[in-house]
Amino acid sequence: MTMRRMWTTTLFPLAAFVALPAPPGLSILSGVPAALVAQQPTRTASTDSRTGTPPSPRADQAAQSLRVSGDAPRAADEQLVLQATRLEGEVTLDGVIDEAVWATAQVADGFTQFDPDPGAAPAERTEARVVYGDDALWVAIRAFDRAPDSIAAQLTRRDQDSYSDEVAVVIDSYFDRRTAFHFQVNALGVKTDLYRFDDTGEDTGWDAVWEVATARDDQGWSAEFRIPYSQLRFRDAPEQRWGINFLRRIARHGEMSVWAPTSREESAIVSRFGELRGMIELSPPRRLEFTPYSLARLERSPGDADNPFYSSNDFLGSVGADMKYGITTDLTLNVTINPDFGQVEADPAQVNLSAYETFLPEQRPFFVEGANLFSFGLGIGDGDGAQESLFYSRRIGRAPQGSPQVSDGWSDADESTTILGAWKLSGKTASGWSVGLLNAVTSEESARIAPDEGERFDQAIEPFTNTAVARIQKDFREGRSAVGVIATATNRSPDVADELQLRTGAYTAGIDARHRFSDENWEVSGYLLGSHLRGSEETIDALQRSPARLFHRPGADHLGYDPTRTSLSGVAATATLNKIAGGHWRFGTGIQARSPGFDANDAGYMRDADFASTFVYLGYDQSSPQGIFRRYRLNFNAWNGVYWSNLERANTGGNVNANGQFTNFWNAYGGIGINASGLSNGMLRGGPDFVTERRINWWSGLNSDSRKPIGLNLNVNGHSVPESDGWGIGVSPTLRWRPTGRANISLGGFWNRNVNDRQWVGRHGAADDPSYVLARLDQTSVGLTSRLDLAVSPTLSLQLYAQPFASSGRYDEYKRVADPKGDSYADRIQPLDLARSGDDWVGDIDGDGEDDAVRAGDFDIRQFRSNAVLRWEYRPGSTLFVVWAQGRDAFDRGGTFDFNDDFGRLFDQHPSNVFMVKLSYWLTP
């Protein structure tokens, strides 16, 4: 577990709808930021805490080694001020702190533990110094260690978690007590950087161009950082005042210490920083960064020689560029032209039998970096609701939404929409305004059609589209309160959009606010949003019939279904009250609601509308060692939901869960939850509302000591639905191995068995009186994920990734819906007497005495995804990627899972191979 992951806050309100608890290995901070108070007594970091007088300058490292090992613990409310020293002469960036300027620089010492025993003295002493030059900030950190042979360090690619001793400097150059730039290195020189926001949030996608070197000796190890001012954001002032903190992790002790103390009982990180002063006559630099790239791509795919579009070798060459420009000292413009994301790892294989689209995480660098500025969660909790957001960047460059319409012949279409260009403007002003603006343009896409008879032609499958997002927020009270606005807009070329039944225009807008009070132990927050969509009658009719609303279903006259509409509008709102700090107890309650017409799916990701739900949770958090635990947490959660449109009960449930870390560094977690019987308006996919059965869920997990070369993580979860005899169980083990200091190997797998007695099959019979057919589905899924990370140096690494996947499902025991709101499950369904005939099940489905047929839904899906990525940062900010990716796909109607047969047949499939070389060059004109 790396230091940046340990220094992370997860607020308890998000546990309101817990389905699976956060992995207990993640350290949790909870509480409220407490800003440094100017009236408190101050001392510079080099003042001797025993005498109150400054010590004499240290002439060399030998003199420093005479100090007593270990830091004296510091009071959490002690204000810290460090004076930066002007750089005179030269510093050789080699990790050895032997230049004369370091001997004259003030020393930041007196570190205190953050983990595992907040406020206690750390096991080893740490010192930090800061000097400033004309174009960069220089930081030296000395990590003394009485057992230098025990210093842990792994050679990995940049930004990868590892079992390593690490140090970091974190700089709040805005000095707003809310945002900071985090620069971290391990004892072998592997870099990690991230951007901190909202005091406790972190953007791990942020990458800066900076330099660092490390060195070891018989007293421990040391690091020298050179951080160009162009990578920071600060204002033009006669003297700079920045927030600053230093961190150290000692891997073998599982210990992290910090210079400016912070505690797990607080929801505060950046607001607890000390101050860096004394930097005069610094002007914010002109910030212009330009990174052109070139790409060569070769794809070899299996195909049918009769296909006129088939080519065994497809070659593509392209060029593009990324640019960053500081428009002001506060605002930065990022532009990407013809972006390419070929080095990104493939999305994991999944089988989705629900009515909702699959959510895919964002991995593309342009959208990952700075994503926090545009983050606006719609849901509450850490289940499916945690994925809902007003802006879902995977909408940009998505797969075309139309399908080639060809009955006889061949078609060919690209798998994703071309992003012609995108820009974003982001930053934070001196008065506390955070600004995030993004605009992206994607091209019209067409499928190439070759009918068996006649001439070839192109058919539009995606319109020309412009997507824009604006997010503006104003901080008050040093960020402890805030008010913000957000808006999204999607506009498509109308002719193609109408042809494909897509919205020509889709817009959302709203406001949000948060406020902390009562010594910042409590927080109230909420938002109010509206949406408006425009399109043809056919488009809005399809939207009303979509799984999120189903206006047309029987018994839903109150929703006002109208097939002649050309627009649809709705609202959504949330209000929460949470105790987030102070003592061990946490509490929260709140409500969220969406009207039936609310929709955010053109620029965002949303599963459901037409609901109102309330929640309450109570938690106990022990964040310091107690008995056999290093820390532990207990939670109770409950919720109740109704439909907005008619106030009928949709779902009621609750759970209890716990997680903790033992003194031997093993972690364990578990919980059990119950969802009471409720009413589903979407289970029959346009049919009447259906009463669902009570469901019991449970989960548990165990993670071994991550400090060891070999580790095991194990998760086991399951559910049961007693009334319909449904059940499921899943097992997910992962084995980790560090054979050397340069390599990490992991082999993970999962096995899931799910039996659902009312799996949706389809609608059968007359449109005015259909029969809704269900079946008992027995599905087994197995997947394996293997990874190898091999580092040759801190700038040269090789990653190998492979995931075979197989899922089989068999349908039987067909039934029709008899009384969807019956008192018992037996009243709600009626078994059907069907017999298998080839690929169909045949029998009297609608009760008219005549045989009908339904298609057997049995399936065998097999996929293989793999890639190999060689990454070389041959100069700061400039990278060479060499990539090989392979995919295999197979599908048939077997329905019976057989491990050997399924995976054997998978590797009999002809693969699709992609070879790619991408070269980028970073420069600052």
Q: Which of 682, 675, 601 is nearest to 641 (CA)?
A: 675
> Can you tell me the distance from the alpha carbon of 520 to that of 538, in angstroms, rounded to the nearest whole number?
51
Going by DSSP bridges, is the β-strand pair 690-691/679-680 parallel, antiparallel, or unpaired? Answer: antiparallel
pLDDT at residue 72 in the model: 54
Give the pLDDT of residue 341.
58
Residue 5 pLDDT > 50, yes or no?
Answer: no
739: exposed, middle or buried (Cβ count in 10 Å: 0-12, 13-18, 19+): exposed
- pLDDT, tens digit, for every residue of 862-887? 999 998 999 999 998 899 999 999 98
Q: Is 530 helix (H, G, I), strand (E, B) or coil?
A: strand
pTM: 0.80
The token pair that represents 903 in the structure block? 């995976």
Whether residue 387 has pLDDT greater than 70: yes
Q: pLDDT class for 451, splitting at 50, 70, 90?
A: confident
Phi, psi of 828 (to 5 degrees): -85, -20
Tell me which residue of 308, 2, 343, 379 sits closest to 160, measured CA to CA: 2
Query: Are 258 and 245 a contacting pair, CB within 8 Å?
Result: yes
Q: Alpha-carbon Rg of the chain, whole angstroms?
A: 30
pLDDT over 70, % of the chain: 88
What does the pLDDT average to over 614-625?
Answer: 93
Mean pLDDT of 13-34: 30
Q: Is the pLDDT of residue 322 over 80?
A: yes
| Eight-class DSSP state of 518 | T
Q: Which residues neighbour 276 within 8 Å (Cβ) at sequence distance 6 or greater?
A: 82, 84, 130, 171, 240, 241, 242, 243, 244
- pLDDT value at residue 59: 30
Per-residue pLDDT, 73: 55
Residue-level pLDDT at 120: 92
What local confidence, expressed as pLDDT, does residue 698 receive? 98
**DSSP code of residue 548:** T
Q: Which residues contact 501 (CB under 8 A, 6 or more apart)?
A: 535, 536, 538, 539, 542
Supply the pLDDT for residue 478.
Answer: 79
pLDDT digits (tens, 9 = 90+) for 777-789: 999 999 999 999 9
| Backbone torsion region of residue 685, taken as left when φ is above 0, otherwise alpha when ψ lies between -120 and 50, otherwise beta | left
221: nearest Cα among 192, 240, 249, 261? 249
Give the per-residue pLDDT at 39.
27
CA distances in angstroms from 159 to 172, 745, 794, listed in the order given: 20, 17, 10
Can you give the pLDDT at residue 868? 93
pLDDT band at 305 (very low <50, low <70, confident <90, very high): low
> CA separation (Å) from 670 to 632, 706, 715, 736, 750?
12, 19, 9, 22, 18
673 vs 237, which has greater pLDDT? 673
Q: What percent of the chain has pLDDT over 90?
A: 57
Q: Which two three-digit tokens encode residue 452? A: 């068996």
Mean pLDDT for the stretch of residues 418-440: 89
Torsion on CA atoms 423, 428, 433, 438, rounded to nearest 10: 10
Higher pLDDT, 238 or 4: 238
pLDDT digits (tens, 9 = 90+) for 403-426: 887 777 777 788 788 899 899 998
**Of 160 and 63, more confident:** 160
Give the pLDDT of residue 60: 35
pLDDT value of position 330: 81
Lowest mean pLDDT across 7-21, 211-225, 385-399, 694-708: 7-21
From CA 606, how far away is CA 389, in angstroms rounded?
A: 7
Please give the residue that has the higher pLDDT: either 721 or 364.
721
Q: What is the DSSP string of 584-613?
A: SEEEEEEEEEE-TT---TTTSB----SEEE
What's the confidence (pLDDT) of residue 530?
97
Average pLDDT over residues 204-208: 85
pLDDT in tens, 86-127: 999 899 999 999 999 999 999 999 999 999 988 899 999 999
Asked which of 71-80, 290-299, 674-683, 749-758 is least confident by mean pLDDT, the reply is 71-80
pLDDT of residue 40: 29
Say what the pLDDT of residue 51 is: 31
DSSP conformational letter for 35: P
Residue range 674-685: average pLDDT? 92
> Reading across the β-sheet that carries 85-86, which strands appear in turn?
85-86, 126-132, 136-144, 220-228, 211-217
Four-point Cα dihedral 257, 259, 265, 269, nearest 10: -110
pLDDT by residue (tens digit) across 727-741?
A: 999 999 999 999 999
Q: Average pLDDT, whole number, for the chain?
A: 85
Residue 719 pLDDT exceeds 70 = yes
| Three state DSSP letters for 268-317 | CCHHHCEEEEEEECCCCCCCEEEEEEEEEEEEECCCCCCCCCCCCEEEEE
Task: Summarize pLDDT for 827-841 with one digit per residue, the tens.
Answer: 999 999 999 888 889
346 has a pLDDT exceeding 60: no
**Residue 821 corresponds to which amino acid?**
K
The confidence score (pLDDT) of residue 571 equals 97
Instruction: Domains for the chain: give ranges and CATH numbers.
Output: 3-15+23-54+63-280 (2.60.40.1190), 341-347+355-609 (no CATH)
| Mean per-residue pLDDT, 129-152 | 96
DSSP states of 432-497 as a string? SEEEEEEEEEE--EEEEEEESSS--EEEEEE--EEEEEEEEEEEETTTTEEEEEEEEEEEE-HHHH
pLDDT digits (tens, 9 = 90+) for 626-644: 999 999 999 999 999 999 8
Residue with tokens 């308890």: 12
pLDDT at 558: 86
Assigned token pair, 415? 């798998």
Residue whose pair of structure tokens reads 């539009």 in the numeric block: 460
- Burial class (CB within 10 angstroms; exposed 0-12, middle 13-18, buried 19+) of 532: middle
Amino acid letter, 142: R
